Chain A
Amino acid sequence: GAGVSQSPSNKVTEKGKDVELRCDPISGHTALYWYRQSLGQGLEFLIYFQGNSAPDKSGLPSDRFSAERTGGSVSTLTIQRTQQEDSAVYLCASSLGRPQETQYFGPGTRLLVL
């Protein structure tokens, strides 16, 4: 079946602009995760959704970052007033939602803030 999809695949923006990144999880997956991978950094957790709720937002780096999920499916990660340090690959993953389930990753959105 179809995997996790993300859009756009690449985004170039100017410092101070807002950006929205979209994730479409695997059908039937109730859990959705956002991670960020910066040059020279490992993958870092941002936020976790179970259904439309976000029980763990502990990885969001600042209040400029927010995310929502609607209909238990598509999720949007919004970064307001982007900064150059926000440049990274933003990865979305989904899983069946039971504890310890395998997470499957989308292709990522490569964000460059000029």
Chain B
Amino acid sequence: QKEVEQNSGPLSVPEGAIASLNCTYSDRGSQSFFWYRQYSGKSPELIMFIYSNGDKEDGRFTAQLNKASQYVSLLIRDSQPSDSATYLCAVTGIWGNKLVFGAGTILRVKS
């Protein structure tokens, strides 16, 4: 079992729709959860982080964390073609240093 799992996609949504990206993790000691966006040929850029159970909203983005289910998700409202990218879920363990990444979900927003 991989430590962090994501559906590879591609996930295709029409412009203006809500995109829902999911991630599960295996280490119950995981403390922090990050979503990075990576455009082709570029490095990852931080979208959101979440530490506590529940929802965290930032503009069009909402991160949701459920530690009991070991599940974290990212919702993108009013999806735009510019949101088309690979979304990486990353988790830190109890010591909080290295990030363990999922393989990423490719999102395609069609205009």
Contact = CB atoms under 8 A, between A and B. Distances in A.
- The size bracket of the interface on A is 20 to 34
Most buried by A among B36, B43, B103: B43
B43 A99 contact: no
- The size bracket of the interface on B is 20 to 34
Given A42-B104, A43-B88, A100-B92, A56 B97 contact: yes
Contacts of B101: 42-44
A93 B92 CA distance: 14
B31 A99 contact: yes
A58 B34 CA distance: 21
Interface of B: 31-32, 34, 36, 42-46, 49, 51, 88, 90, 92, 95-104
Interface of A: 31, 33, 35, 41-45, 48, 50, 55-56, 58-59, 91, 93, 98-108
